[in-house]
């Protein structure tokens, strides 16, 4: 599995997208895949994917938020960058 594929895997209960409308994990993953297809010519790395497709609404410019089961919310871009750093750390440790 590539880093981009790993980052697209659902991890939470709901994701808040586009002006507060809530989506299930499966719906959010589908939306991110659609955005990746729209922007794939500019996406070369996992960081590009996060920056260009997975951090904010193209329409409103508002950040995508993840809501965890405990009610805590974080920006999707921040969450994905943290997960990417964890994945990269594992790869370095396993070299």
Q: Where are the domains of the chain?
A: 3-86
The values of phi and psi at residue 42, to 5°, are -100, -5
pLDDT of residue 94: 47
pLDDT of residue 47: 95
pLDDT tens digit sequence for 31-63: 889 999 999 999 999 999 999 999 999 888 999
Q: CB neighbours of 53 closer than 8 A, spacing ≥ 6?
A: 32, 35, 36, 38, 39, 43
Q: Are 35 and 17 in contact (CB under 8 A)?
A: no
The tokens 């209960």 sit on which residue? 13
**24 bridge partner residues:** 14
pLDDT of residue 92: 56
Question: What confidence tier does 15 reach under pLDDT thresholds 50, 70, 90?
Answer: low
């Amino acid at each position: 599995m590539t880093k981009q594929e790993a980052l697209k895997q659902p991890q939470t209960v709901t994701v808040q997208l586009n002006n507060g409308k809530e989506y299930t994990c499966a719906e959010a993953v589908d939306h991110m895949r659609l955005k990746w297809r729209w922007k794939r010519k500019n996406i070369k790395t996992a960081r590009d994917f996060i920056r260009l497709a997975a951090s904010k609404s193209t329409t409103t410019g508002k950040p995508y938020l993840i809501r965890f089961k405990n009610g805590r919310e974080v920006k999707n871009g921040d969450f994905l960058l943290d997960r990417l750093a964890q994945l990269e750390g594992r790869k370095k440790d396993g070299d």
